[in-house]
Amino acid sequence: MKVALQLSIKLPNSPGALARMSDMLRSADVNIEALFCTRESEETSVHVVVDDPETAKMVLRDIGEVSTKDVLAIPIKNKPGAIANIARVCAGQSINIEHIYATSFGKDAMVYLDVNDLEKAREVLK
């Protein structure tokens, strides 16, 4: 388990906005490791973990305000109940999961957790 820096930016909720953002990162040779978007009326909130957050912040400043937050990156086995186990442990320790997203490939997965108490979650999810 490691702490990763999540970047968040609001984009217009319109065709091409995500393509423009991801093209900007590609042009700067920044790789997207994980991404999720949520629609908020006329805007879309994009949350992304990249391999070079500092460069990404500089590049994305041109299209909007970039905020950052530490999240947990937890490697797990890709099997039924794996996320349920994480959620159960957090609930049992009164840790609120504000955002969760995951990527998987074959038998392995990576879960990204945005929680209200990062250090406590890091300790109980070891």
Q: pLDDT for 76-94, tens place per residue?
A: 999 999 999 999 999 999 9
The pLDDT of residue 35 = 95
In this structure, which amino acid lies at residue 40? E
Residue 9, in any domain of the structure: yes
Whole-number pLDDT of residue 41: 81
Res 83: pLDDT: 95
Q: Is 76 inside a domain boundary?
A: yes
- The CATH number assigned to the domain holding 101 equals 3.30.2130.10
Contact present, 123 and 69 (Cβ < 8 Å):
no
For residue 19, the model assigns a pLDDT of 96
Within a domain: 113: yes
Closest of 117, 78, 125, 119 to residue 97, by C-alpha: 117
pLDDT of residue 40: 81
Is 126 a domain residue? no
Q: Is residue 39 part of a domain?
A: yes
- Band (71; pLDDT cuts 50, 70, 90): very high
Q: What is the pLDDT of residues 9-52, one digit of tens each?
A: 999 999 999 999 999 999 999 999 999 999 888 899 999 999 99
The parent domain of residue 49 ranges over 1-121
pTM of the model: 0.89
pLDDT for 118 beyond 90: yes
52 found inside a domain: yes
pLDDT surpasses 90 at 5: yes
